[in-house]
């Protein structure tokens, strides 16, 4: 089965290897100036508990200088779905669409073993590719993660254990979609929609509650957070606990400006507080384990459903 799988999917596997090489080359070439700027400006001295002067200018300048590259790196969050679109979806859809399943499923290998063997081999390749891509991105983002942390969505989705887990889930989705729709294009489309919907639901409604968020009450002009914490909500309230609307805050700032008073000082005299709900940066690997386990579990469930369906498919 290994040789058959390679022969049938060698173009996708070679393309995956080429994509990884291109990613590694781009990461190596662009990290050199980032690494040089990080050490030239001694940005490591701006990390707590250091109190180096000028960090409020140096750090934003460094982040703005390479903001375009960081934004481009976030696009890598779509890479795992390619495993479902171009490897998983055609696995069964192409066989059913072209009618070659009649030959493949009447040989000495049972259809269940055929499906499990091919899926397992391709899954191993996608896991390896996802792990390699994750390692490259983590190495490239090192200076930014040092300053900003990694638990926020912008970096969490392209680093760590979740990247190969996403690829495995996308592959399983593609296999099931190909079996259900029996057309490659329809299977690819449904895989993309299902993958995007799942990722969105997990990000917005599940991940913030993997562990109970922490809460903190601080002065209205203070954040009360450590660098890298993932802020879930940040609410300004008055002395009675009522939420301050943006219009009311703007009115207070305008009043202070007209009276010649520093707006921060004026807001403090009003007794306003800031209620912050957040996930601390130290929970990054715990969240990675939880989310990776969630997507691996979903992938295993989907494969079991596909195996059950394929046994019921007429030869």
d(CA 79, CA 130): 9
Q: What pLDDT does residue 227 have?
A: 78
Q: Tens digits of per-residue pLDDT, 3-49?
A: 666 667 788 889 999 999 999 999 999 999 999 999 888 888 887 76
State mean pLDDT over 293-315.
Answer: 90
Contact between residue 283 and residue 211 where contact means Cβ atoms under 8 Å apart: yes
Residue 146 in tokens: 């040092």
In sequence order, which residues have a C-beta less than 8 Å from that of residue 237 and are 6 or more positions away?
243, 244, 272, 273, 274, 275
Q: Which of 49-53, 80-84, 206-210 has the lowest mean pLDDT?
A: 49-53
Contact between residue 84 and residue 171 where contact means Cβ atoms under 8 Å apart: yes
SS3 label, residue 261: coil
d(CA 76, CA 139): 14
Distances (CA, A) of 170 to 33, 130, 313: 34, 11, 23
138 band by pLDDT with thresholds 50, 70 and 90: very high
Q: What pLDDT does residue 110 have?
A: 79
d(CA 10, CA 198): 29
Q: What pLDDT does residue 156 have?
A: 96
159 band by pLDDT with thresholds 50, 70 and 90: very high
1 band by pLDDT with thresholds 50, 70 and 90: low
């Amino acid at each position: 089965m290994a040789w058959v799988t390679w022969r049938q999917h060698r173009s996708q596997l070679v393309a995956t290897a080429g994509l990884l090489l291109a990613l590694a080359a781009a990461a190596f070439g662009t990290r050199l100036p980032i690494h040089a700027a990080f050490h030239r400006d001694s940005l490591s001295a701006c990390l707590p508990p250091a109190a180096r002067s000028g960090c409020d200018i140096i750090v934003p300048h460094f982040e703005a200088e390479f903001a375009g590259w960081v934004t481009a790196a976030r696009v890598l969050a779509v890479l795992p779905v390619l495993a479902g679109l171009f490897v998983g979806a055609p696995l069964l859809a192409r066989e059913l669409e072209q009618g070659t399943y009649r030959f493949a499923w009447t040989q000495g290998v049972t259809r269940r073993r055929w499906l499990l063997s091919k899926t397992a081999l391709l899954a191993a390749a996608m896991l390896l590719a996802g792990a390699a891509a994750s390692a490259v991105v983590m190495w490239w983002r090192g200076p930014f993660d040092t300053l900003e942390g990694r638990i926020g969505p912008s970096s969490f989705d392209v680093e760590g254990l979740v990247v190969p887990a996403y690829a495995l889930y996308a592959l399983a989705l593609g296999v099931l979609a190909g079996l259900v729709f029996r057309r490659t294009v329809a299977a690819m489309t449904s895989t993309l929609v299902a993958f995007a919907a799942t990722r969105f639901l997990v990000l917005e409604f599940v991940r913030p509650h993997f562990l109970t968020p922490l809460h903190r009450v601080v002065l209205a002009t203070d954040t009360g957070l450590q660098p890298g914490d993932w802020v879930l909500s940040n609410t300004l309230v008055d002395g009675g606990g009522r939420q301050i609307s943006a219009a009311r805050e703007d009115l207070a700032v305008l009043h202070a400006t007209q009276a010649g008073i520093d707006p921060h000082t004026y807001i403090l005299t009003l007794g306003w507080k800031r209620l912050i709900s957040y996930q601390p940066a130290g929970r990054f690997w715990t969240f990675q384990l939880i989310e990776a386990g969630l997507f691996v579990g979903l992938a295993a469930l989907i494969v079991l459903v596909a195996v059950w369906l394929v046994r019921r498919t007429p030869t």
